Structure 1
């Protein structure tokens, strides 16, 4: 049997000829094409509203949680995979739910740790051009069409972030959280960078380039806590809550 393309569009699963060539986000943000957007965009507001309502409804009773970010490309034999699993397991032991993007790599590892601990393992998926899928360790999964709705859920329902080595998506979540803390939009929000060898160059650049040039101040950089120790990463959240 020929393998058919498939994708997740919000809560809907599409296969074969039903798979569209673009994502909902892409069609919303792409200003090219005919002017019918004048008539269709207002109706998109209702779909966006429904995603917020679904997300708020599903997560309202979640309780204390930590969002864990990192690369979808991290393999199970990578030490960072096991570190993410252990961090999630220990956070679960301290009474936290674990939230990830629901995909493979670091996300799968963190969901696995929370699942094995018997805690709440949450996956917030997103519609992508190439299907990523929800990993098997997610106990509570929500698929979103819009990145900005999904990102709101990560911040709103987490007490802080653990950021493992990752790519553009990981950096996006990291710097959005930093901006929200810096501007006072969220408070008491610990951000832990796990892996000093990976993140050390970024911290050095912030201190040696951005800081001397007056683009940030020292307190902004101090919002980041960098560590290689799993227990220290977990303790950072427990200490902040006590």
Structure 2
């Protein structure tokens, strides 16, 4: 940060980081207590600092996306295990191989939506995925093939994988907290598209649906790709018949099969009064 960009007359923290590194090593300066608090990872990862870490994970992606001028996103949720059609030989089950059609649909949908995004200079309708393989890769891949940018919201897992290579590098974020990551999925969401997936996809889908159902989030286009899959794993009508959800809740989402159907559904989605 240079002097012209500062809104205060005080010495900049980045300057002190450099200065602290130049202090001669002594028994005092090598001690952990001497480290600047905001450069001391041992201190920042202490249990008592959890509220600070939560705030940092909220702020960092928020500030970067604000600086990039990103105003709205199109969310793609979906399974990491769904292969690209050319990779179905290695699929765990024949059913999983058959779901590869949704890799292609996610890729096509992201391509078309990114073309729209570029009409607003990449500020609106930016594709955001979890940054991983499978459907997530397909979404970032389609955006890249359209010549646009896309966001990846990765999270540290025991079986850690690098983000897929199609995420825009300067919009590739990494999280420790699932809750903050899910907030960033939804904070700018203009539409939510859910492709077949497992526990993670179900978790993301139901949290978003709950927020909309309870009025904690505006109603936006909510699309489930693959009616046969979703009706096979969830008996939606049984929930309504049991009274655990209302009949009206079944209208919070629509089933689609193709990218073209999804875009048509978004374009015709009832706007709030």
Q: Where do residues 15-26 of structure 1 align in structure 2 (5 Å cutoff)? A: none
Equivalent of residue 197 in structure 1, options 228, 231, 246: 228
- Partner residue in 1 for 2:23: none
1:59–1:157 Cα contact (<8 Å) kept: no
- Equivalent residue of 2:161, what SS? coil
- TM-score, length basis structure 1: 0.79
- Equivalent residue of 2:55, what SS? helix
- CA displacement, residues 123-162 of structure 1 (integer Å, 9 cap, x when unaligned): 0000101112211000020001110010000010211210
- CA, structure 1 residues 107+68, in 2 after alignment: closer, same or farther (shift >3 Å)? same
Bigger strand fraction: 1
Equivalent of residue 210 in structure 1, options 231, 239, 249: 239
Bigger helix fraction: 2
- Partner residue in 2 for 1:239: 268
Equivalent of residue 70 in structure 1, options 67, 70, 78: 78
In structure 2, distance between residues paired with 1:236 and 1:92: 17
1:221 aligns with 2:250: yes
Count of residue pairs the alignment pairs up: 201
Q: Which structure: larger Rg?
A: 2
Q: 1:59 Cα deviation (Å)? A: 2.1
Equivalent of residue 59 in structure 1, options 44, 65, 70: 65
1:108 aligns with 2:108: no
- Equivalent residue of 1:159, what SS? strand
- Partner residue in 2 for 1:184: 215
1:164 aligns with 2:186: no
- Partner residue in 1 for 2:108: 86
1:159–1:189 Cα contact (<8 Å) kept: yes
- Partner residue in 1 for 2:157: 128
What is the root-mean-square deviation of aligned Cα atoms in Å?
A: 1.5
1:188–1:240 Cα contact (<8 Å) kept: no
1:94–1:238 Cα contact (<8 Å) kept: no
In structure 1, distance between residues paired with 2:221 and 2:185: 13
Q: 1:58 Cα deviation (Å)? A: 1.9
Q: Per chain length, whose mean CA-contact separation is higher, i.e. which structure has more relative contact order (CA < 8 Å, sep 6+)?
A: 1
Listed as ranges, the gaps of 5+ residues in structure 1 are 1-39
Structure 1 stretches of 4+ moved >4 Å? none
